Amino acid sequence: MSANNPKRTSRWLPSRKVLGCFEGEILQRREFITLLGSAAAAWPLAARAQQPERMRLVGLLMGYPEGDLQAQANVKAFREGLQSLGWIEGRNIRLEFRWAGGDPDKARAFAKELISMKPDTIVPSTNQVTAILLQETRAIPIVFVFVGDPVGSGFITSLAQPGGNVTGFANFENSIGGKWLEILTDLTPKTRRVGFIYNPLAPPKIGFLRAAEAAAPSFGVKVFPLPVHDAAEIERAVTAFAAEPNGGLIVAPHAVTLGSRDLIVKLAAQYRLPAVYSDRYFAESGGLLSFGNNTADLFRRSATYIDRILKGAKPSDLPVQLPTKFELIINLKTAKALGLDVPLKLQQGADEVIE
């Protein structure tokens, strides 16, 4: 037969029934291949989803002694802040604490140790440890907490645009020095001499002192600077100041004064010196009165910046935050021991009265 015989050709054409079966097989194969491909593509995604989250490391360089009650309350608030944002210790975050306790040599050694761990970010607390940490690194993101006058201390260029690798949460503005003096003179109108206890190595404390000195004439008092570096100097300074009558004290916040809290409260009672403190833990430890920010709140809020940095934000893009909560705590038991009548108006304005 010839090659163009139509009958021969028709014998090799599949019937409609066979063609339908063949097309069905092809369709089924395509569906199977598609399903297989989809499964293969989905497998890596599922595998990745089942992999544990990368553990992030945050170092904390604390200027306080480890056993300090305030320090432990601050740490508790910090952990609570992180947990509320989904950061769970042991699952997706690890915290490494180092406690300098006001010792600059310890602070420097701990700073080097934390940096060697290559953490995602470091949280220093107090001006002393922040300054030391910034001398050691300008690469690792830093979020400071409880730092005074970060601009004047040279940590940042401005509150709105910190610049570099650092941002954080400041504790006071310099004007607080005048406010402490006002509260002291309202409570003890007979006071004519005010000893201002501060660490001269910390620029913010000098700023607080200058504000108190500027306000002093309007309250009819004279401010006496009492610079201290350690507990021994605190005892000598207070003892010498108490030799003259009509005195009172203002105690500026610093790792040295916070770490010597019990000593200062004891000396104030011994020499019958009414004193205003910057932190509630002084009043709770027997001090007459404290007016300052809620440090636990600062630590809790700082967790929001840790969260943002761990998610890719740059410290230089996060403005430095000022405190939003201030507390007035009055210890009436101490006032009675000093023979003071606390004005009702002052009591009513207090956040807490210890009786």
As a whole-number percent, the residues of the chain with pLDDT over 90 amount to 68
Alpha-carbon separation of residue 216 from 68, 209, 268 (angstroms): 33, 10, 21
28 occurs within a structural domain? no
Same domain, 87 and 146: yes
Q: What is the mean pLDDT of residues 146-158?
A: 91
Kindly report the backbone phi and psi dihedral angles of residue 165, in degrees, each rounded to the nearest multiple of 5, phi listed first. -105, 20
pLDDT above 70: residue 11: no
Q: What is the pLDDT of residue 319?
A: 97
User: How many domains does the chain divide into?
Assistant: 2
For residue 247, what is the DSSP state?
E
Encode 83-110: b = buried (16+ Cβ within 10 Å), e = exposed: eeeebeeeeebebeebbbbbbeebbbeb
164 occurs within a structural domain? yes
Q: What is the pLDDT of residue 161?
A: 94
Residues 6+ apart with CB under 8 A from 41: none
pLDDT above 60: residue 35: no
| Secondary structure class of 147 (helix, strand, coil) | strand
Same domain, 111 and 185: no
Same domain, 246 and 155: no
Q: What is the mean pLDDT of residues 92-104?
A: 94
Same domain, 309 and 332: no
74 occurs within a structural domain? yes
| pLDDT tens column, 195-236 | 999 999 888 889 999 999 999 999 999 999 999 999 999 999
Same domain, 233 and 263: yes
Same domain, 126 and 148: yes
Q: pTM of the entire structure?
A: 0.76
Same domain, 332 and 208: yes
Same domain, 150 and 218: no
CB 118 within 8 A of CB 146: no
152 occurs within a structural domain? yes
22 occurs within a structural domain? no
Q: What is the CATH classification number for the domain harbouring 117?
A: 3.40.50.2300
| Secondary structure class of 221 (helix, strand, coil) | coil
60 occurs within a structural domain? yes
Q: What is the mean pLDDT of residues 21-29?
A: 42
Same domain, 128 and 180: no
* DSSP letters for 268-305: HHHTT--EEESSHHHHHTT-SEEEEE-HHHHHHHHHHH
Q: What is the mean pLDDT of residues 289-307?
A: 94
| pLDDT tens column, 42-83 | 444 444 444 457 899 999 999 988 888 888 999 999 999 999
265 occurs within a structural domain? yes
231 occurs within a structural domain? yes
Q: What is the mean pLDDT of residues 332-341?
A: 95
Domain hosting residue 98, numbered range? 56-171+295-317
Q: What is the pLDDT of residue 34?
A: 44
Same domain, 202 and 341: yes
User: Residues 35-39: contacts with CB within 8 Å, 24+ apart?
Assistant: none
As a whole number of angstroms, the distance between CA 248 and CA 196 comes to 9
- Look at phi and psi of residue 158 and say left if phi exceeds 0, alpha if psi is from -120 to 50, else beta: beta
Same domain, 210 and 248: yes
For residue 91, what is the DSSP state?
T
Q: What is the pLDDT of residue 152?
A: 86
Q: What is the pLDDT of residue 40?
A: 40
Same domain, 216 and 334: yes
Q: What is the pLDDT of residue 22?
A: 33
